């Protein structure tokens, strides 16, 4: 067939994008085939990377990663070994060489390929920037025609190729952690922050599901293929790239991949001043939107008032704080909180109108609410209010305000309005769907809670958003499995143990030894390793109830010292130990503190043994919103 050739015993059919051996064929992506054709047109000779980029991607900027991935796919197809190559040899920092024998299926195709080889050599010599600019259009058109000739395309086939290369339908997207090309561990916070900000921008696209940062961070250094990662996250599109910072200059390289076919769609490189990086995220997000189509009327960014651009020092402190937040509850004890709060306060001092810094400060306070509620809640409310005053378009601030209205103000109608506003601005915010599920659970509306929890889990597949629902409905094994899956990805996530975490799931499932072990782990992750060891000793010598009482006593001491813990936690631990009087005592203290709304006290799983006690029913009456 015209245009077909052999590499060793393998038959290559460029017009069909097929590579076959002994009756078995493999279909490769068109750009991968174009790379192979370019190499085969000059067998045994070095083909520079620049030449491959010009021939295969004449009108698009792509990074080295795209070419490397194409070469890797060819090596997998030929069962080639990069260390002992039999087909494709890598010439470090220069290019690639096809070292296997190439034979044509007919003489006419051979003459065509000979002309192409000459053209490839000519292109490789055309490197001067000025000349490239003058000849860019001509060369681009010439290479397109030549590539069509290599592939044996008639006019009809060329039209089909154009149809095949139209941007595929993308309804869901994940942004993989941007690589830190600075090769400086101290700059990890910067690449982390850039990834999170880009996800935040993309999540505001209507008609597009965007996976949360907590679920993609596990793939920071993954060796999995992009199609495999996409299957695990349940997405069609993958955004990947790298960030490099040198002083006040930043370069971000981004590319969009249609993951099911590992197909490159778009790439761009941006050079900006450090102070412009937050605005740059919107530019990148808009560019991605321009290159995808969804089943909706078309993906478009929802209107959002831009946050004030911070000065350099404010942005630096903000990104450092975001990175500190990511390490909270991961074995650093309270230092993660203190560090994050310090950075966010510094950002606010540098730029008092920087709304995201107030929001981040409120989020850090919120993580401590269960530990120091009387002190923390007023600070959290003030920070959220300031963030919304400066930028009413911050979806996460509305989401946090909803939680405050439920847990502190007992204002359920106000909470619902804030949740709706948050989802209007950003329908992909998993934490808002999570809070909506908790809202419905508080009102004893399990079906609506289930729908919202499921949506949150879809947006954050590595999260634990359905655990609360599983516990409420007695599906303890499902709760345990979801929590353990999460901890396989994030083994040092202390929050996966507490509240609606593994301690509770094991307890309600009757797996007391494992619940005690989870208690030990949680104490250690939040900076109280010695208390965790005491829990272990109490369990070993006197059993599960003793380990619970020991934990409760330690919480009492820390509460008296005004360090950590809400009194309702102490009540819960005494309830699990079966201590009626201590449970009632600490429930009274909890309600007297008036530091939160406990609308579902009567349905709390821990206090079922008290429901026939008139003293408990009096407390239930006091707990209801009035």
Nearest one of 8, 15, 72, 77 to 40, comparing CA atoms: 8
The residue assigned the tokens 């055309």 is 126
Give 453's contacts (C-beta < 8 A, 6+ positions apart): 433, 434, 437, 465, 466, 468, 469
Residue 406 has pLDDT above 70, yes or no: yes
CATH annotation of 172-300: 3.40.50.10610
Asked if 580 and 611 touch (Cβ cutoff 8 Å), the reply is: no
Give 73's contacts (C-beta < 8 A, 6+ positions apart): 28, 29, 32, 262
| Range among 135-139, 193-197, 397-401 with highest mean pLDDT value | 397-401
Which alpha helices (DSSP H) does 408-528 contain, by range? 412-425, 430-442, 446-459, 467-472, 476-489, 502-508, 512-525
What is the structure's pLDDT at 370? 52
Which 3 state secondary structure label does DSSP give 163?
A: helix
* Predicted confidence (pLDDT) per residue in 182-191, tens digit: 666 666 777 7
CB count within 10 Å of CB 82 equals 11
| Beta partners for residue 47, in sequence order | 96
| Beta partners for residue 12, in sequence order | 5, 19
Nearest one of 459, 456, 437 to 446, comparing CA atoms: 437
What is the structure's pLDDT at 550? 95
DSSP per residue over 458-486, as a string?
HH-TTS-TTHHHHHHTT-HHHHHHHHHHH
Q: Can you tell me the distance from the alpha carbon of 37 to that of 43, in angstroms, rounded to the nearest whole number?
A: 10
* Predicted confidence (pLDDT) per residue in 356-405, tens digit: 899 999 988 877 645 555 677 888 899 999 999 999 988 999 999 998 88
Torsion of CA 256, 258, 260, 261, to 10 degrees: -110
pLDDT band at residue 284, thresholds of 50, 70 and 90? Answer: confident
What is the structure's pLDDT at 371? 53
Which 3 state secondary structure label does DSSP give 134?
A: helix
Where is 272: in which H helix or E strand?
Answer: strand 263-273
Which 3 state secondary structure label does DSSP give 24?
A: strand
- Sign of the Cα pseudo-torsion (527, 380, 210, 465, in order): positive
Nearest one of 615, 601, 546, 602 to 574, comparing CA atoms: 546
* Predicted confidence (pLDDT) per residue in 576-594, tens digit: 999 999 999 998 888 776 5
Residues in the chain, total: 626
Asked if 278 and 304 touch (Cβ cutoff 8 Å), the reply is: no
Give 222's contacts (C-beta < 8 A, 6+ positions apart): 229
Q: Can you tell me the distance from the alpha carbon of 148 to that of 368, in angstroms, rounded to the nearest whole number?
A: 62
Q: Can you tell me the distance from the alpha carbon of 342 to that of 320, in angstroms, rounded to the nearest whole number?
A: 10
Q: Can you tell me the distance from the alpha carbon of 365 to that of 404, in angstroms, rounded to the nearest whole number?
A: 12
Q: Can you tell me the distance from the alpha carbon of 577 to that of 557, in angstroms, rounded to the nearest whole number?
A: 18
DSSP per residue over 286-324, as a string?
HHHHTT-B-SSS--EEPP-PPPPPPPHHHHHHHHHHHHH
* Predicted confidence (pLDDT) per residue in 18-42, tens digit: 898 877 778 888 889 999 999 998 8
- pTM value is 0.56
CATH architecture of 5-164: Orthogonal Bundle (1.10)
Q: Can you tell me the distance from the alpha carbon of 626 to that of 621, in angstroms, rounded to the nearest whole number?
A: 10
Decide which of 527 and 98 is more confident: 98
Q: Can you tell me the distance from the alpha carbon of 349 to that of 303, in angstroms, rounded to the nearest whole number?
A: 29
Mean pLDDT in residue range 172-184: 79
Decide which of 531 and 234 is more confident: 531
- Sign of the Cα pseudo-torsion (421, 427, 429, 432, in order): positive
Q: Which two tokens stand for residue 466?
A: 């359905």
Q: Can you tell me the distance from the alpha carbon of 155 to that of 139, in angstroms, rounded to the nearest whole number?
A: 20
Q: Which two tokens stand for residue 180?
A: 């830190």
Nearest one of 394, 389, 458 to 425, comparing CA atoms: 394
* Predicted confidence (pLDDT) per residue in 531-590, tens digit: 999 999 999 999 999 999 999 999 988 888 766 667 888 899 999 999 999 999 998 888
Asked if 438 and 408 touch (Cβ cutoff 8 Å), the reply is: no
Give me Rg for the CA atoms of the chain: 29
Q: What are phi and psi of 310, to 5 degrees?
A: -80, 165
Q: Which two tokens stand for residue 362?
A: 């409120």
Asked if 533 and 520 touch (Cβ cutoff 8 Å), the reply is: yes
The residue assigned the tokens 């999460």 is 486
Residue 130 has pLDDT above 60, yes or no: no
Whether 5-164 and 172-300 share one fold: the answer is: no
Residue ranges of domains in the chain: 5-164, 172-300
The most distant pair of C-alpha atoms in the chain lies apart, rounded to whole Å, by 98
Q: End-to-end CA distance of the chain, in Å? A: 83
Q: Can you tell me the distance from the alpha carbon of 509 to that of 476, in angstroms, rounded to the nearest whole number?
A: 6
pLDDT band at residue 166, thresholds of 50, 70 and 90? Answer: low
**CA distances (Å), origin 291, targets 231, 281, 283, 356, 437:** 21, 16, 13, 28, 34
What is the structure's pLDDT at 135? 25
Q: Which two tokens stand for residue 583?
A: 């449970």
Nearest one of 563, 611, 619 to 590, comparing CA atoms: 619
Nearest one of 176, 425, 191, 209 to 307, comparing CA atoms: 425
């Amino acid at each position: 067939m015209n245009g077909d050739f052999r590499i060793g015993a393998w038959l290559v059919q460029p017009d069909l994008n097929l590579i076959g051996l002994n009756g078995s064929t493999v279909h490769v992506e068109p750009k991968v085939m174009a790379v192979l054709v370019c190499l085969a047109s000059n067998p045994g000779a070095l083909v520079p990377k620049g030449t491959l980029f010009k021939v295969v991607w004449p009108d698009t900027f792509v990074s080295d990663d795209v070419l490397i991935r194409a070469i890797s796919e060819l090596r997998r197809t030929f069962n080639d070994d990069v260390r002992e190559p039999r087909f494709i040899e890598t010439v470090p920092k220069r290019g690639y060489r096809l070292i296997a024998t190439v034979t044509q299926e007919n003489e006419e195709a051979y003459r065509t390929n000979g002309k192409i080889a000459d053209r490839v050599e000519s292109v490789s010599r055309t490197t001067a920037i000025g000349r490239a600019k003058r000849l860019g259009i001509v060369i681009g058109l010439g290479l397109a025609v030549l590539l069509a000739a290599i592939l044996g395309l008639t006019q009809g086939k060329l039209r089909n190729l154009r149809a095949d290369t139209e941007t595929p339908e993308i309804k869901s997207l994940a942004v993989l952690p941007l690589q830190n090309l600075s090769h400086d561990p101290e700059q990890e916070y910067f690449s982390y922050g850039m990834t999170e900000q880009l996800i935040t921008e993309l999540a505001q696209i209507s008609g597009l599901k965007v996976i949360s940062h907590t679920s993609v961070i596990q793939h920071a250094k993954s060796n999995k293929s992009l199609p495999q990662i996409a299957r695990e996250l349940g997405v069609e599109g993958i955004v990947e790239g790298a960030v490099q910072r040198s002083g006040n200059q930043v370069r971000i390289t981004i590319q969009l991949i249609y993951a099911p076919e590992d197909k490159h769609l778009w790439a761009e490189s941006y050079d900006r001043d450090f102070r412009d990086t937050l605005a740059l995220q919107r530019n990148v997000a808009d560019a991605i939107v321009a290159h995808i189509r969804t089943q909706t009327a078309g993906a478009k960014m929802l209107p959002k008032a831009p946050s004030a651009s911070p000065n350099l020092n404010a942005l630096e402190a903000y990104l450092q704080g975001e990175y500190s937040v990511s390490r909270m509850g991961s074995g650093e004890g309270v230092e993660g909180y203190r560090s994050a709060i310090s950075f966010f306060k510094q950002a606010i001092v540098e730029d008092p109108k920087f709304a995201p810094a107030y929001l981040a400060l409120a989020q850090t306070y919120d993580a401590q609410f269960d530990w120091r509620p009387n002190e923390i809640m007023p600070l959290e409310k003030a920070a959220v209010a300031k963030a919304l005053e400066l930028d009413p378009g911050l979806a996460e601030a509305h989401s946090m305000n909803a939680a405050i209205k439920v847990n502190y103000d007992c204002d359920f109608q106000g909470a619902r309005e804030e949740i709706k506003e948050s989802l209007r601005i950003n329908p992909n915010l998993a934490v808002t769907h999570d809070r909506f599920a908790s809202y419905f659970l508080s009102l004893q509306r399990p079906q609506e809670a289930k729908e919202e929890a499921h949506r949150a889990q879809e947006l954050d597949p590595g999260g634990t958003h359905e655990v609360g629902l599983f516990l409420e409905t007695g599906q303890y094994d499902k709760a345990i499995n979801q929590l353990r899956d999460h901890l396989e990805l994030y083994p040092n996530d202390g929050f996966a143990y507490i509240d609606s975490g593994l301690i509770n799931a094991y307890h309600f499932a009757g797996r007391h030894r494992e619940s005690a072990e989870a208690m030990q782990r949680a104490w250690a992750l939040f900076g109280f390793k010695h208390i965790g060891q005491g829990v272990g000793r109490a369990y070993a010598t006197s059993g599960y109830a003793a380990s619970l009482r020991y934990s409760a006593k330690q919480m009492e001491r820390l509460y008296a010292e005004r360090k950590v813990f809400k009194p309702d936690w102490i009540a819960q631990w005494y309830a699990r130990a079966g201590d009626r009087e201590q449970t009632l005592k600490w429930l009274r203290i909890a309600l007297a503190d008036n530091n939160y709304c406990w609308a579902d006290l009567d349905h709390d799983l821990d206090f079922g043994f008290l429901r026939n006690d008139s003293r408990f029913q009096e407390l239930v009456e006091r707990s209801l919103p009035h």
